[in-house]
């Protein structure tokens, strides 16, 4: 019985593989470029691409459980639908799909809307899947660490509604546990949705205060100028993606990313430990500077 991990060389996928290997699973990793693959011993590497259907058929052959992770790209929705259709055609009945929290609320944000469409396909096609809905990744803030440490500003326009940010280590471990739960079940399990959230609901001001404590100097919150945010992002990512991120940040300001009742307790029970906090991340980041 084999678990296939897509997005295998990325931050989440590589950690899912490590978690699975540590638990004795038979793991196959789907990668576009095998020369870039660096996985633990025993992981089978297969070359494939979501838009190359024949490569997916080959990669999916003999797989019992699928971890589906699609990167934020212009054709993310198409890629996911192709992957699910191919999985269904070869008889894969155990799936864990990495979606996003509140995709039915952030309806104007392209990559949220795409993931919600994928969720609808899973439901309408009667696929057996766990749909993981993570909030904002804490580790996203590694990309702005220089602004924090160099200019004394936390620049992410996350507003004052609050985000229940989650550590990618927690996402990966939860994903691995769900993959194994489905893999080891005697029959394919019904659809199950899980919000993946961190232990704290944090505003921009809250996060600036955490960095101030950790760095022992004042860090201020940069505020909610989403237009400036988009322009800054365009310096190092495509314009369409910068706009997508701006749309997301505007929903941060109006809606936040809040957990539902019982989410945190369910996740800590599943993990058997506390969730990683933003303060943990900030302290670790400052220590490694």
Record the pTM: 0.97
From first to last of its 289 residues, what are the pLDDT tens digits of the chain? 899 999 999 999 999 999 999 999 999 999 999 988 899 999 999 999 999 999 999 999 999 999 999 999 999 999 999 999 999 999 999 999 999 999 999 999 999 999 999 999 999 999 999 999 999 999 999 999 999 999 999 999 999 999 999 999 999 999 999 999 999 999 999 999 999 999 999 999 999 999 999 999 999 999 999 999 999 999 999 999 999 999 999 999 999 999 999 999 999 999 999 999 999 999 999 988 6
Distance CA 61, CA 101 (A): 31
Q: Which residue has the tokens 């590589």?
A: 14
Domain ranges of the chain: 3-136+167-196+260-275
Query: For residues 156 and 249, is the Cβ–Cβ distance under 8 A?
Result: yes
CA angle 239, 246, 159 (to 5 degrees): 155
List Cα–Cα distances, 130 to 71, 119, 163, 266, in angstroms: 18, 10, 23, 15
Query: For residues 94 and 65, is the Cβ–Cβ distance under 8 A?
Result: yes
The CATH-assigned architecture of domain 3-136+167-196+260-275 is 3-Layer(aba) Sandwich (3.40)
């Amino acid at each position: 019985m084999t678990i296939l991990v897509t997005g295998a060389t990325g931050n989440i996928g590589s950690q899912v593989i490590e978690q699975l290997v540590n638990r004795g699973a038979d793991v196959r990793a789907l990668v576009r470029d095998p020369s870039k693959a660096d996985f633990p011993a025993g992981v089978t590497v297969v070359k494939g691409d979501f838009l190359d259907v024949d490569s997916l058929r080959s990669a999916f052959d003999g797989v019992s459980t699928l971890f589906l992770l699609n990167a934020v790209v212009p054709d993310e929705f198409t890629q996911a639908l192709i992957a699910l259709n191919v999985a269904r055609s070869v008889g894969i009945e155990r799936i864990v799909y990495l979606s996003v929290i509140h995709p039915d609320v952030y309806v104007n944000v392209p990559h949220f809307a795409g993931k919600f469409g994928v969720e609808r396909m899973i439901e309408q096609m009667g696929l057996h899947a766990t749909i993981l809905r993570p909030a904002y990744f804490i580790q996203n803030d590694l990309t702005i660490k220089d602004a924090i440490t160099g200019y004394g500003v936390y620049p992410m326009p996350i507003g004052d509604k609050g985000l229940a940010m989650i550590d990618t280590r927690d996402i990966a471990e939860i994903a691995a546990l769900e993959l194994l739960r489905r893999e080891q079940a005697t029959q394919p399990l019904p659809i199950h949705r899980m919000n993946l959230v961190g232990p704290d609901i944090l505003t921009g001001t809250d996060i600036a205060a955490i960095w101030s404590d950790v760095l022992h100097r004042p860090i201020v919150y940069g505020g909610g100028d989403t237009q400036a945010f988009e322009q800054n992002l365009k310096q190092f990512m495509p314009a369409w993606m910068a706009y997508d991120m701006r749309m997301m940040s505007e929903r941060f300001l109006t809606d936040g990313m809040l957990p539902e009742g019982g989410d945190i307790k369910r996740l800590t029970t599943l993990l058997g430990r506390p969730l990683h906090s933003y303060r943990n991340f900030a302290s670790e980041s400052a220590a490694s500077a």
